[in-house]
Structure 1
Amino acid sequence: MRRASREFFTARTVGEALAGFRPARRTPVETVGLADALHRVPAADVRAPAAMPGFARSTVDGYAVRAADTYGASEGLPSYVELAGAVRMGTAPTVAVSHGECVAVPTGAVLPDGADAVVMVEHTAETMPGTIEVTRPVAPGAGLVRADEDAAAGDVLVAAGRPLRAAQLGFLAAAGVTSVAVRARPRVAIVSTGDEVVPPGTATLAPGQVRDATASALAGLVRDAGGEPVAAAIVPDDRGALESALRAALADADLVVVSAGSSVGARDETAGAVAALGEIWCHGLAVKPGKPTLLADCAGVPLVGLPGNPLSALVVFGLVGVPLVWRLAGCEHPPPEPTVRARLGRDLASATGRLDVVQVAVRYGVPVPTAEPLFGPSALLSVLARADGYVIVPEPATGLDAGTELTVTLHR
């Protein structure tokens, strides 16, 4: 037990963990259709196979013209052009625009040859059959998009290493790209430990037993980060059993998470079991809640040992584990969580040199919302379940005063 306590002298800050614990492992590449590509991480830049949209087209309903024929036009002194024909949607123009002429075009239609602008129909009138009155001048390029304005052939449509958003899927579809090479979803094995821990479906608890709530919550965080949670059996507080379970999990996972496995209690065997399988990078983070966190590399597979208390475990996994899941899928910079600016509802005390993560309820009001801190033992999931988000008291601070305007990171 004394050896486990000494490991806390290797405690790192959360910033050091994010910057320094960077396993090289990446998931393999697979090809998926656009229907399955949302939030997946491209393994390579996806480039435009051809110019987009591929032809100059109108962005308004109106008349394709030569811009020079409209110069000086006004309500009091309009310009007049002859109607040479019309363009139908989805077909190539059968007429061109010459000096002093125009062609009727709907939004999205192909721009006819000779035209370099489109006058909105609102700025025109047909004064007599075949003659169009223009009451506002247009510059070359007005009312249209060029053939390569969305993208030139070979341009990067979406960059590697960034999760695909819905709009990007539409962009790829417009380019005719129907499948993408992406990183496979990281397989995250969640190993729960403890003689007192029983499956959530246990109808009646014996004295001292607790249902495994943390594993279900961790699985949700893994899915949110684009990973695939893999539940392992609950392991008793036995060094041999834990080492065997971890060895099996490491053989089939990209990341192993040990839930309730790195407290400093007398029966904690996690550090010893992990040390037998790999190299411990740190055992202790300067964060509250969540100090007894273990990070290790086991033959190229990262392992995170979380504190036993559910609130602590979930807070730490959100700070350190979620970025790891994204990194394994090739995303170096995880998409940011939603935030809101708010004023602190009461004073917050803190110890310098430690990152404090405080759960808050957000009360929306004018001019800015109020963040009301929620307190309770880290063994209580109710604190996290009631919270709308959290605020961070940085390491150098000794606390924050009520009324301080700060950023609340919202829970999804």
Structure 2
Amino acid sequence: MSGREFFTTRTVVQALAGFRPARRTTLEEVPLDDALHRVPAADVAAAAPLPGFAKSTVDGFAVRAADTYGASEGLPSYLDLVGAVRMGVPPSVAVRPGGAVAMPTGGVLPDGADAVVMVEHTAETMPGTIEVTRPVAPLDGVVRADEDVAAGAPLVPGGRPLRAPDLGLLAAAGVTTVIVRARPRVAIVSTGDEVVPPSTGQLRPGQVRDATASALAGLVRDAGGEPTIAGIVPDDAGALETTLRKALQDSDLVVVSAGSSVGTRDETAGAVAALGEIWCHGLSIKPGKPTLLAECRSDSGDGIPLIGLPGNPLSALVVFRVIGVPLVWRLAGCSVPPPEPSVPACLTRDLPSAAGRLDVVQVSVRDGAATPIFGPSALLSVLTRADGCIVVPEPATGLPAGSQVQVMLYR
């Protein structure tokens, strides 16, 4: 392998579609209070219909819809008020032809009734009699017993992170625990003789504090993973292989920060090749071309995906957001990673690009205008000043000023 050339270079589209390790995290049962954003391993089915009884959606009167046909303000229908429904208890009265029962919102629909007329369309002209000034059709103002969820139907789908409304529906069905995929364990290995811990007080010339690992850990947590900072490894092939071999034993994903650029000091590709198969070394993306994707083997024989990131912090974080975050979700059993929040905006200046390469450009967004933020890929401040990023697609040769773009927002 030449130390001066990229090999097996892929586009981002190819990487997202083709680099799909089979590994998935193990199953565990968690209480509902801890299930937000966790990924159910399979559909969770309803044991019984919801809400379980027909109920009113409005304050009004339970009636037989046929008794209101033709009603109008000029010619109302007159119905006998035969009782009222109380919340939380079954009705003690039924609706007979020509009768009506007072209903609160959420009350159980009494026998004989098939609709609820809103109180705004009624008037009590005399004690025990109401007049209806607007007709209702069957099931108006009513939720059926299985209208929310039928018995045996999925409450929530497998393979999709649980959202707050999902937890509410599960609680309504009496589900208090959920079987989900465990959070992916992501080991973050930093490399380089020049890299020192963030706690280092006084830097010597040429030294840099390890900023990338902390930022990567934040992205891993955002994607539902559990990051582990595995330390800093010098530019030594043997030391790196030893560290990677150890990280593979108790991780679902290993991320190597720095060391993947092609050069005489590049040790990552050689160490990874000794542990598994390199799927690509080089992505058609800017920033972030010197990216390595591989599948390695732990001592137990399990296939563990590995991402080798560029050394520059901005490049590393851009690539991990594009490639790594979807992979973390996939390891957790998520079939389609949740989309990033985005807003439309108008581009304020021309953006040149090269066909066949995906460009990720940082932007600030103000009053619907997206302004590119440029700077060397070694500067993290480019990211901290950005509200989000835009993507120039691989087939494009650039975007002219005034283009309508979609900005992926940073949370």
Once structures 1 and 2 are overlaid, which stretch shifts more, 387-396 or 249-258?
Answer: 387-396
Shift, 1:370, TM fit: 1.1
Alignment of structure 1 residues 67-78 onto 2, 5 Å:
67-78=65-76
Alignment of structure 1 residues 12-411 onto 2, 5 Å:
12-299=10-297, 300-364=303-367, 369-411=368-410
Asked if 1 retains the 8 angstrom alpha-carbon contact of 2:3 and 2:263, the reply is: no
AA at the equivalent of 2:347:
L
Q: Quick one: distance in 2 between partners of 1:9 and 1:33?
A: 47
Q: Quick one: distance in 1 between partners of 2:312 and 2:149?
A: 51
Residue ranges of structure 1 left out of the alignment (5+ in a row): none
Alignment match, 1:4: 3
Alignment match, 2:300: none
Asked if 1 retains the 8 angstrom alpha-carbon contact of 2:4 and 2:263, the reply is: no
What SS does the corresponding residue of 2:3 show, helix, strand or coil?
helix
Q: Quick one: distance in 1 between partners of 2:259 and 2:327?
A: 19
AA at the equivalent of 1:226:
G
Shift, 1:350, TM fit: 1.0
Sequence identity percentage: 77
Residue ranges of structure 2 left out of the alignment (5+ in a row): 298-302
Shift, 1:265, TM fit: 3.2
Q: Quick one: distance in 1 between partners of 2:176 and 2:18?
A: 38
Asked if 2 retains the 8 angstrom alpha-carbon contact of 1:80 and 1:134, the reply is: yes
Once structures 1 and 2 are overlaid, which stretch shifts more, 305-314 or 234-243?
Answer: 234-243
Q: Encode CA deviations 1:4-52: one digit per residue, 9 max, x unaligned.
A: 333x131100000011110000000101111111110000100001010
Asked if 1 retains the 8 angstrom alpha-carbon contact of 2:7 and 2:280, the reply is: no
Asked if 2 retains the 8 angstrom alpha-carbon contact of 1:360 and 1:387, the reply is: yes
Q: Quick one: distance in 1 between partners of 2:334 and 2:113?
A: 45
Asked if 1 retains the 8 angstrom alpha-carbon contact of 2:3 and 2:264, the reply is: no
Q: Quick one: distance in 2 between partners of 1:141 and 1:396?
A: 53
CA RMSD between the two structures: 0.9
Asked if 2 retains the 8 angstrom alpha-carbon contact of 1:257 and 1:303, the reply is: yes
What SS does the corresponding residue of 1:234 show, helix, strand or coil?
strand
- TM-score when normalising by structure 2: 0.98
AA at the equivalent of 1:9:
F
Once structures 1 and 2 are overlaid, which stretch shifts more, 319-328 or 402-411?
Answer: 402-411
Asked if 2 retains the 8 angstrom alpha-carbon contact of 1:27 and 1:328, the reply is: yes
Q: Quick one: distance in 2 between partners of 1:270 and 1:239?
A: 7
Shift, 1:327, TM fit: 0.5
Q: Quick one: distance in 2 between partners of 1:188 and 1:278?
A: 18
Shift, 1:196, TM fit: 1.1
What SS does the corresponding residue of 1:233 show, helix, strand or coil?
strand
Q: Quick one: distance in 1 between partners of 2:42 and 2:400?
A: 47
What SS does the corresponding residue of 2:220 show, helix, strand or coil?
helix
Shift, 1:397, TM fit: 1.5
Q: Quick one: distance in 2 between partners of 1:171 and 1:5?
A: 56
AA at the equivalent of 2:397:
T
Runs of 4+ in structure 1 deviating by more than 2 angstroms, as ranges, are none
AA at the equivalent of 2:3:
A
Q: Quick one: distance in 1 between partners of 2:398 and 2:99?
A: 73
What SS does the corresponding residue of 2:405 show, helix, strand or coil?
strand
Shift, 1:363, TM fit: 1.5
AA at the equivalent of 1:126:
E
Asked if 2 retains the 8 angstrom alpha-carbon contact of 1:97 and 1:115, the reply is: yes
